[in-house]
Amino acid sequence: MTADSRTADRPPAALRAEALEALLTERGLVKTEVLDGFINRYVNDVGPLNGAKVVAKAWVDPDYRARLLADGTGAIKEFGFGGPQGEHIVVVENTDEVHNVVVCTLCSCYPWPVLGLPPNWYKDPAYRARVVREPRALLAEMGLVVDDAVEIKVWDSSAENRYFVLPRRPAGSENLSEEELTALVSRDAMVGVADVKVAS
């Protein structure tokens, strides 16, 4: 296999990241095991499952839900979730009247402690521009049709505030345990580009 065939289908950003990692490790500025540990933490320990636990708790515990909406950062810290990219998290709640969706129009600010690393589409300039201009059309293209009677609010995350969506609890989930509810919640629902559904 040639170098060209190995890189032909790789995104340019991935190739640049690998080249930068190779250069930094070659010069002794970073250690491979440190980078691997950082990546492993955000893939396995910090990620959407953390956020799903927060959502499920809010669905079953009205007092926790109230704390979460009043002080997202503080309520999330009750789970022990915090750290870089989670210093100030604002939680917005989807209702029958309002659907919230999150973007970062300048870069890719994102609440890492509860959602892990941002997906590629979140960082894509097309998403960042279109979700502000035509959120209903973009959400429909992503598979989420929002009724015309429902207001769509777009929240622009920044270094100061990172937004996190508390999705609506799905119909038919009334008898599910907190653990079962956690398993239903996806990363996309906590960004606002999907709803939570009970498997049929």
Q: How far apart are CA 13 and CA 172, in angstroms?
A: 42
Cα–Cα–Cα angle for 131, 160, 138, rounded to 5 degrees: 5
Q: What are the residue numbers of the active site?
A: 104, 107-109
Q: How far apart are CA 76 and CA 114, in angstroms?
A: 8
What are the Cα distances from residue 137, in Å, to 124, 127, 157?
16, 11, 21
Q: Name 119's Cβ contacts closer than 8 Å, sequence gap at least 6.
A: 187
Joined tokens for residue 57: 């708790």
Joined tokens for residue 124: 């894509």
